[in-house]
Amino acid sequence: MSLPILDLNNVLAPALAEGGLDPARLEVGGDLQRRFADAHEVFERRRAAGDLGFLDLPFDRETAGRVAEVAESFGQWFEDVVVLGIGGSGLGAVALREALLVPAWNERSDEVREYHPRLHVVDNPDPRTVHALFERIDPRRALFVVISKSGSTAETMALYLVARARVAAVVEAEQVRGHFLFVTDPERGALRTLAEAEGIPTLPVPANVGGRFSVLSSVGLLPAAVCGIDIDELLAGAAAMVEACRGTDLRANPAAALATVLWAADTELDLPIHVLMAYADRLRAFTLWFQQLWAESLGKVRGDGHVGPTPLPAVGATDQHAQVQLFMEGPRDKIVVFLAVDGSGVEVEVPDLHPDVETMAYLGGAGLGTLLDAERRATTEALRLRSRPSITLEVGSADARSFGALIMLFEIATVYAGGLYGVDPLDQPGVELGKRLTYALMGRHGYEAPDVPEVDERWRIGGTSG
């Protein structure tokens, strides 16, 4: 199978006239290669300690079989499947649905229904979203898949309670549990306890797989399989990428090259903003999945300093008319990773209706896919001409197999990047304080209300008219 190709030319000298990395530094014996070797050692140590459970997921046939069984039997009894989960427990399902099921991101994807149930993913406890969902679906015909590794995340618990009450209002008491499936830690947490007490079916998130690395566990596989995505292909692509990312030779290990170049871009070239710009609507949600992965894994305290790149999602050609002005002429603090997708299989020809109108004639007879790809190549070249670096990841057709490979590439690169930055990419201590303060504000037992400074009304500006 063909795996994504990582093209580094436009971050290297001489293609980049100014500020490019010297390619010799990436060769065997080069200093970046040696620097990566240290990060690789950390990675291997953690792998041996059993911390990197996400690497085993593509080979876990038992879980894949169980997921397929649940999705094909239980899952197909329903008209609507509603995933309730946030962060790593929701973003992966959306990325898979958008990439592999619905071609256009801005279509009402949840209204596409043929054989499979419609898949909805609710992450935010926004009352308008939740209200609108329950206006559209019939809880008697809906399955709620509650996904939470910890089994305690406030947003997900609240959404579960709402869903539970909505179901209980319209079905017999003994049927309520048949409308729920929990995806959670195999041993711990409130969802696990509840499932055991009430006989609610569950699927596990392995204890050594953290939320943002869990898309290839039941967390992403179940929603994907329910709506007809070929999870075997997805896992086969991911497995091939695990095999491809071994060793310390940057020219033979794409995740190593990606992580090392992005780390060097931040720490040496002063390019701390890492833009992921997909030239396909259907990869927009993937860029949001990447944003969580990169931000939550790498934005950390190290010693007494703070490190971490800022991931910035973008979509071409849309963002050529929004963010590219900034990328071209704004501060030199960005490196763009382009996702180039081969649109083969689907092409829409532009008809040659006005051969005499100069602004339209050249488009006649071309394909929209050809135009989109030309725009990507042109943007890459425009950046290069201004010595603004970019990387291109050619992801092929972005079918289930290559998408699985792409997911694994970024997951492995993230752990490598953690080693390069000298931080633990698997934890997220920075989100705890906000969680505790929310508990306090919501009156959770044992959490004290924060001591908020008095508000000075003079600095609350606006709000009245006339």
Active site residues: 296, 321, 435
By beta-carbon proximity to ligand F6P, the closer residue of 13 and 431 is 431
Least separation in angstroms between CB 34 and ligand F6P? 32
Binding test (CB under 6 A) with ligand F6P, winner from 20, 58, 75, 87: 87
Binding test (CB under 6 A) with ligand F6P, winner from 252, 431, 433, 442: 431
Phi, psi dihedrals of residue 297, rounded to the nearest 5° = -85, -35
> Is residue 89 close enough to count as binding ligand F6P by CB under 6 A?
yes
By beta-carbon proximity to ligand F6P, the closer residue of 184 and 320 is 184
Kindly give, in sequence order, each residue whose CB lies less than 8 Å from that of residue 151, ignoring residues fewer than 6 positions away: 182, 184, 185, 188, 189, 190, 191, 192, 193
By beta-carbon proximity to ligand F6P, the closer residue of 24 and 433 is 433
Stretch that binds ligand F6P, among 48-56, 142-150, 158-166, 382-390 (CB under 6 A): 142-150
Angle at 127 between CA 125 and CA 129, to 5 degrees: 85
Joined tokens for residue 397:
């057709």
Binding test (CB under 6 A) with ligand F6P, winner from 109, 148, 323, 390: 148
> Is residue 211 close enough to count as binding ligand F6P by CB under 6 A?
yes
Least separation in angstroms between CB 185 and ligand F6P? 8
Least separation in angstroms between CB 207 and ligand F6P? 12
Place of tokens 């006005």: 354
Q: 293 with 411: CB under 8 angstroms? A: yes
Count how many Cα atoms sit within 13 Å of the Cα of residue 461 in the half-sphere of its side chain.
Answer: 1
Least separation in angstroms between CB 146 and ligand F6P? 9
Taking CB atoms, the residue at the shortest distance from ligand F6P is 211
> Is residue 153 close enough to count as binding ligand F6P by CB under 6 A?
yes
Stretch that binds ligand F6P, among 112-120, 149-157, 242-250, 301-309 (CB under 6 A): 149-157
Angle at 217 between CA 238 and CA 237, to 5 degrees: 15
Nearest alpha carbon to residue 274 among 260, 254, 294, 251: 294
Least separation in angstroms between CB 10 and ligand F6P? 33
> Is residue 88 close enough to count as binding ligand F6P by CB under 6 A?
yes
Distance CA 102, CA 110 (A): 9
Residues 280-299 that bind ligand F6P (CB under 6 A): 296
By beta-carbon proximity to ligand F6P, the closer residue of 153 and 379 is 153
Distance CA 294, CA 307 (A): 12
Provide the CA 87 distance to its chain's centre, in angstroms: 9
Q: 309 with 294: CB under 8 angstroms? A: yes
DSSP 189: S
Distance CA 389, CA 374 (A): 18
Which parts of 298-374 are beta strand (E)?
Answer: 300-302, 305-307, 310-315, 334-340
Binding test (CB under 6 A) with ligand F6P, winner from 156, 297, 320, 323: 156
By beta-carbon proximity to ligand F6P, the closer residue of 156 and 392 is 156
> Is residue 217 close enough to count as binding ligand F6P by CB under 6 A?
no
CB atoms within 10 A of CB 129: 14
Stretch that binds ligand F6P, among 60-68, 80-88, 223-231, 311-319 (CB under 6 A): 80-88
Annotate 9-53 with DSSP letters as a single string.
GGGBTTTSTTTPBPGGGGSTTSHHHHHHHHHHHHHHHHHHTT--G
By beta-carbon proximity to ligand F6P, the closer residue of 24 and 431 is 431
Distance CA 450, CA 326 (A): 39
Least separation in angstroms between CB 87 and ligand F6P? 3
Joined tokens for residue 265:
């871009």
> Is residue 94 close enough to count as binding ligand F6P by CB under 6 A?
no
Binding mask 246-285 for ligand F6P (x = CB under 6 A): ----------------------------------------
How many residues form the binding site for ligand F6P (CB under 6 A)? 14
Least separation in angstroms between CB 298 and ligand F6P? 13
> Is residue 212 close enough to count as binding ligand F6P by CB under 6 A?
yes
By beta-carbon proximity to ligand F6P, the closer residue of 250 and 407 is 407
> Is residue 86 close enough to count as binding ligand F6P by CB under 6 A?
yes
Place of tokens 């019939």: 138
CB atoms within 10 A of CB 355: 11
DSSP 349: B
Binding test (CB under 6 A) with ligand F6P, winner from 129, 150, 267, 387: 150
Least separation in angstroms between CB 192 and ligand F6P? 12
Question: Where does this chain bind ligand F6P (CB under 6 A)?
Answer: 86-89, 148-150, 153, 156, 211-212, 296, 428, 431
